[in-house]
Structures are given as C-alpha cells and as structure tokens.
Amino acid sequence: MDRSVRRPFVLGICGAQGSGKSTLSEALADRMRARGVATAVLSIDDLYRTRAERMALARDVHPLFAVRGVPGTHDVALGLDILAALDAGRAAALPRFDKARDDRAPADAWEAAPGDTALLILEGWCVGARPEAEAALAEPVNDLEREEDADGRWRRAANAALAGDYQALFARLDLLVLLAAPGFEAVRDWRVEQEHGLARAAGAGAQGVMSDAEVERFIRFYERLTRHILAEMPDRADLVIRLGRDRTPLSISCG
C-alpha cells in the first residue's frame, strides 16, 4: 500500500430491519458531501451472494440458505476487496442487490466509490456482529428453527460463517454505531411497515413485494442474531442510539 494515501474512515451503522439505518446513512452521506468530503455508502445487503450461489448453499449445506439474510449468504470477500481498493487509493465498484429479483444487480447498475473516498459508511442489520457461544445455539429461538432446523445445522453454519471472514470485514470499522430497537417485537412492525411502503411505491401487482405473512416468516431468519446483537452490542459499540417503537431516539450514549 502507498503510505502517502490516506485510507478512508469506515463508519459502521448497525440496526435491525426497518430501524432507519439506510435513511440515516444517506442523510449523513449527503451532509458530508455537501461539506466537500468524498463519501460512499455500502450496505451489507448489497453484498448478498447471487441467487445461484445461495441455491448451491441450500443444496450443499442447508435448504434455509436459499433465503438471503444470515451470515453465510454474503460475499464477504467482495466487501474485503472493496475496502482493500479504497485503502490503496483506488476507485472501487460498489455492488447493488436487486431485492425485487432476489439477485445481484448487473454490474452496469453498480455505483463507484472514488479513489479519494475519505468516508465509507458500511451499514446493515448485522454490521459489527460477533458470533454466539456454541451453547447458545442448542435451543431454537422460534418455530422456523424448531421445525426446519431441528438439528441446528443451519444456525451453526451461519454462526461459523460469522466467526470467519465477517470478523475481518468488521475489524476494519473505525467507529461502530448501533441503532438499538426496543425489542425484536418492534422489528416485526417496522418490517411490515417497510414492505407496505415498498408496495405503495411499486404499485398494484408488483413482483417481489411480500405479504404480511411472508414478512412474518422472513424476519424469523433474522431473529436469532438480532436478539443477540441487542443483548451484546450495546456494551461495546462506540455510539448507541436507543429507539422507541416509533423510531424516535430516546437516548444516545457513547461506549
């Protein structure tokens, strides 16, 4: 690496689904750009593996890996390559994931972070997460795990993935902010509200929009790690913003 190049400051923003992390990230990026600071935003959702790659995981590891979400369904190596390029002062293409198609968007739809990027905001529901202890994996946390992962193979594989390259990615964070939901129960309401907004924007009959029942099942994939993050991360995050059920900030504390 050229030591004359100043590597970008990497700000991690972690928050459960619907907590407002993407809105906050974009607002902060706009503010910093207005001040002349070259800023890029990367969502961990945009690092999801392609649909074909997840189908292979579903076949070879566990059927539940067909659904995007848990550690193991992200292309962490791609994220590390982006950081390495920016650290070296090179421009980097930022992937985009098309949730309507449940697949990675074509490369011509990607954006580019310039080589002089001074601030990279890495946001996502599990940014900065640490793996659970092995003993915590024994008991299922919901019906999805109880009925479709009775032997714990899926959750153990996801936890092992989180303990691997994800930690190398998160080690690059210079500062970690947690948007702390008041509990997992609020996340369900936020996610349903989010999907209703997507449905209104997409129009009647749009593909890729989930029903309330589908959202209810979908968030069960995220429940275990979301609960773990809410219990474990507040003690070590650099900044914790505790939210009310209406997402109003109730308190802000520094680690």
DSSP 234-255: GGT-SEEEEE-TT--EEEEEE-
Residue that the structure tokens 């995220």 belong to: 222
Helix (H, G, I), strand (E, B) or coil at 111: strand
pLDDT in tens, 32-86: 999 999 999 999 999 999 999 999 999 999 999 999 999 999 999 999 999 999 9
Helix (H, G, I), strand (E, B) or coil at 115: coil
| Architecture label for domain 9-254 | 3-Layer(aba) Sandwich (3.40)
pLDDT in tens, 136-187: 999 999 999 999 999 999 999 999 999 999 999 999 999 999 999 999 989 8
Contact 25, 13 (CB under 8 A): yes
d(Cα 176, Cα 173) in Å, to the nearest integer?
Answer: 7
d(Cα 125, Cα 163) in Å, to the nearest integer?
Answer: 16
The residue ranges of every structural domain in the chain are 9-254
Q: Tally Cβ neighbours within 10 Å of residue 116.
A: 12
Task: Please give the model's pTM, rounded to 2 decimal places.
Answer: 0.91
